[in-house]
Amino acid sequence: MERNSNSNIIIRIRTPPCLILLFLCLFLSSISLAIATRPLPLLDNFNTNKLLFSPTFNRIYDISNYGRFQLFNGLAQTPQMGWNSWNFFACNINETVIKETADALISTGLADLGYVYVNIDDCWSKETRNLKDQLVPDQKTFPSGIKALADYVHAKALKLGIYSDAGVFTCQVRPGSLYHEDEDAELFASWGVDYLKYDNCFNLGIPPKKRYPPMRDALNATERPIFYSLCEWGVDDPALWAGKVGNSWRTTDDINDSWASMTTIADLNDKWASYAGPGGWNDPDMLEVGNGGMTYNEYRAHFSIWALMKAPLLIGCDIRNMTAETLKILSNTEVIGVNQDSLGVQGRKVHASGPNSCQQVWAGPLSGNRLVVALWNRCSSAALITAEWNVLGLQSSVSVSIRDLWKHDIVAADAVSSFGTSVEPHDCAMYIFTPEMLESYSVM
C-alpha cells in the first residue's frame, strides 16, 4: 500500500552517474531514499529559518514519524470534519434523524465550514444477515435503506459514513464484518458510502494488526475512495502501525461528556503527536461540545485542544437543536483553520506548571512560519499563564504578532520573549503567533 514515488526519484538521480561512478550513485540513491520516505515537504522553512526558530525547535515539535506510513487513498489530507450519531443518540437513531441532521448541517452553515461527513454509528443494521449473507438495514428505523440516505446527503454535497466492527458482532450486537470484509465493503460501496468507522467489539482475541488490514484491502478493491476510520480504542498502540492501514486511528477508550474524560483523553492522545500527518491522524474520539456535561469554558477548551491536536472534528451533539453558544464554538472559523492547516503537524503540550501542572501551554507549527499557541488553565481558579519563547522554540529576540482566535483580534503587535494572560478556570485562550520577518533579516 505504500507509495512508490521512491523509485522514480532514485532512478532519476541514479541513471546518468551510475554509468560513470558507481559509488557516487549508491551514495545519491541512499540520500534520495532517506528523503523519499517523507512523501511530503515538511517544515523546510522552520528548519532553515534560524533567525526565527531556536535549535530546540525540532526537538519540541518532534515530527520524526510524520508521513512515514501512509494509506494512499487520497483522503484525509486534513483531519475529517462532520457529525456522528453516537455521542448524543447512541442506539436511538433512524433515517429521519440522519436526514434532519444533514438538513441542519446546511441550514446552520456548518457544512460550509467543512463539516461534511454525516456518520451513522452502531445500530443501523438488523440483528442478522440475510439469506445471501449480506448486512441489512433495520426495516423499522431505516425503511428506505442506506442507498436512499446516501443519495439524500449527496444531493446536499455532503458525504455519508457508516459503521461496522472488526469482530463477529458490533458493540450493540449487530453482525460484524470479520471474515466478511470483501462482501461488506462491496455492499457499502454499492450504496455510495464515503466513510467507514470500524469498531473493535467481539474480536475473538485476534490482534488488531491482523483484523484491520483486510478491510483496508477490501475497501481499496471497491475502487471507491472510502475514508477508513480505525476504532481499536488505542489498545495496540495503533499510531505505531495504523498509518498504512487507515486514515485515522482512535488512540484511547471512548470519550464521555465530562471534564475528567476530556482532559484524560487529551493527555493520552498527546503521546502520539509525532505520528500524525496528512493522510493519517490520531483520533482522541468525537466531540462532546453541546451535550450539556461541561461548561461553556470547558467546551471551548475541548474544541481548542482538539483543533490544535489535529483531531477529527466530528460533532457529537444534536445539531438540529443547538444553543447559540454551542454553534458559536463549533463555527469558530479561526480555530477550524488551525485544525485544517495544510502543514498538518499535530500540536502538543510544551509546558506545564502550577499545582498538579494545571497551568499548561500547548503549541504547534502552522504553515507560513506561524505557530498555534493555547494557554490552557486546568486549575480550579483563574491563573496567569505565560508562554516563554524558548518553550515555543522561538528565538527570544524575535518579535511576534499575536492574534486571539476567540476574541478575533490582534492582542499584541510585537511581543518579545514571552506572552502571558490571565485565564479563567477550565478555560483555554488560543492564539496564532506570527513571528515578524523584519526587513533587516532578509537584507542582512
Ligand X SMILES: *[C@@H]1O[C@H](CO)[C@@H](O)[C@H](O)[C@H]1NC(C)=O
Q: Which residues pair with 430 in a beta bridge?
A: 374
Q: Which is nearer to ligand X, 54 or 78 (CB)?
A: 78
From 298, 315, 297, select the one nearest 109 (Cα to Cα). 315
Question: Does residue 87 bind ligand X (CB under 6 A)?
Answer: no
Report the SS3 class of residue 116.
Answer: coil
Contact letters for ligand X, residues 34-73 (x by CB under 6 A): --------------------------------------xx
Q: 280 Cβ partners below 8 Å, 6+ apart? A: 69, 70, 71, 76, 242, 243, 246, 247, 248, 249
Distances in Å between the Cα of 355 and the Cα atoms of 245, 317, 383 are: 41, 33, 11
Identify whether 254 is a catalytic site residue. yes
Cβ proximity to ligand X, 326 vs 339, nearer residue: 326
Among 103, 151, 182, 254, the one annotated catalytic: 254
CB of 73 to ligand X, least distance (A): 3
Nearer to ligand X, 1 or 11 (CB): 1
Residue among 13, 97, 391, 416 that touches ligand X (CB under 6 A): 97
Single out the residue of 261, 332, 359, 377 in contact with ligand X (rule: CB under 6 A): 261
How far apart are alpha carbons 124 and 42 in whole angstroms? 41
The interface region with ligand X, picked from 51-59, 236-244, 258-266, 407-415 by CB under 6 A, is 258-266
110 within 8 A of 75, measured Cβ to Cβ:
no
- Active-site residue flag, 199: yes
- State whether the Cα torsion 120-329-341-256 is positive or negative: negative
Task: Round to whole Å and give the CA distance between 378 and 224.
Answer: 44
Contact 139, 126 (CB under 8 A): yes
Q: All 3 cell numbers of residue 162?
A: 457508516
Active-site choice (122, 165, 194, 199): 199
Which residues ranging from 355 to 394 are in contact with ligand X (CB under 6 A)?
A: none
**Quick one: cell of 164?**
461496522
* Residue 233 binds ligand X (CB under 6 A): no
If one asks whether residue 296 binds ligand X (CB under 6 A), the answer comes out as: no
Q: Active-site positions? A: 199, 254
Contacts to ligand X by CB under 6 A:
1, 72-74, 89, 92, 94, 96-97, 220, 223, 225, 256, 258, 260-261, 264, 321, 323
